[in-house]
Amino acid sequence: MKAKKEIPAYKRPNVISGRMIGLALSVLTVMGLVIFMGYYTLSAEYFKVNKYGVEGNSHLKDSDIFDLMDVKGKNILSVNAEILARRLSASPWIKTSYIRKELPSSILVKIVEKAPAAVLNDGRALFLIDETGVKLDNIEKPVAGIPVINIEEQYKRAYAEAVRLVNVINKTDALSGKTIEITGMRPEDISLTLNGLLILMGFGDYEKKLSSYFSLKDEIVGRNIAIEYIDLRFANRLIVKPLKKDMKWVKEAI
């Protein structure tokens, strides 16, 4: 007898149920609403930046800081605080900044400004500079109580040494408020004029050299010695040039 052939089982074709279609439509609807709400939120007038507050600034105006951030009219939800901080760092005056967003449309900024360390007179103009020698702002005349560096920009090594000396001077309380000018075309030629008295400083060891000067100052005052200049350029050697009879004694410098 012949074997009976097996009849394959009937397979029902895949049919998408109405329930699945409804679920898919619901998901698409929700996604559409989310996209729409997101677009609406990012474009809504309600969230556009129109208010700001600034703390810690004395040299920069509030409006200058707001202009640097460039956020007026932009949606506050799309504003990135790190990007704003980088924009603010473009100003030489700003040392650090902290930015806080306040919904729906306000930005608060707290900054720390750099303190002017000296005035640079490069032979063409006057500039306030910071402790690293970076120019902060152009000014019309020297500022009382701030050292002046009279060095042209082409003498870069001498300028770098002058900035180092300025930082030492600014940390020395006994020199606070004094009229000080620094000159020199080479590092080894650095000198300062203190209330009219010339002090040859030379290169480096400024803390030690100024300490020697203060020790000498007490002796000069005690002996009532008139001097033309003091030379501190040589290690372990201090030279005092006596004042000529026809020269004015700048006693107030001592």
Q: Where are the alpha helices (DSSP H) in the chain?
A: 18-43, 62-69, 81-88, 156-170, 206-223
Domain boundary among 113, 142, 159: 113
Same domain, 179 and 229: yes
Residue scoring higher pLDDT (117 or 238) = 117
Same domain, 247 and 139: yes
- Phi and psi at 158, nearest 5°, equal -65, -40
At 247 the pLDDT is 46
19, two tokens: 């329930």
Same domain, 151 and 194: yes
Measured CA to CA, the distance from residue 4 to residue 68 in angstroms comes to 90
Residue 220 lies in a domain: yes
pLDDT mean over 53-69: 89
Our count of domains for the chain comes to 2
Same domain, 148 and 74: no
Residue scoring higher pLDDT (204 or 244) = 204
Residue 187 lies in a domain: yes
Domain boundary among 93, 113, 133: 113
226 in Cβ contact with 242 (< 8 Å): yes
Q: What is the DSSP letter of 75?
A: B
200 in Cβ contact with 229 (< 8 Å): yes
Residues in the chain, total: 254
206 in Cβ contact with 174 (< 8 Å): no
Asked if the model's pLDDT at residue 249 lies above 50, the reply is: no
Distances (CA, A) of 3 to 6, 137: 9, 105
Residue scoring higher pLDDT (248 or 182) = 182
130 in Cβ contact with 92 (< 8 Å): yes
| 129: Cα within 13 Å, side-chain hemisphere | 26
Residue 37 lies in a domain: no
Cα-to-chain-centroid distance, residue 87: 12
Residue 169 lies in a domain: yes
Whole-prediction pTM: 0.70
Measured CA to CA, the distance from residue 150 to residue 203 in angstroms comes to 16
Residue scoring higher pLDDT (249 or 26) = 26
- Burial of residue 214 (CB within 10 Å: 0-12, 13-18, 19+) is exposed
pLDDT mean over 63-91: 88
| 38: Cα within 13 Å, side-chain hemisphere | 7
Asked if the model's pLDDT at residue 103 lies above 90, the reply is: no
Same domain, 144 and 192: yes
CATH of the domain at 92: 3.10.20.310
Domain boundary among 81, 113, 145: 113
Same domain, 104 and 152: no
Q: What is the DSSP string of 3-60?
A: PPPPPPPPPPPP---HHHHHHHHHHHHHHHHHHHHHHHHHH-GGGB--EEEEES-SSS
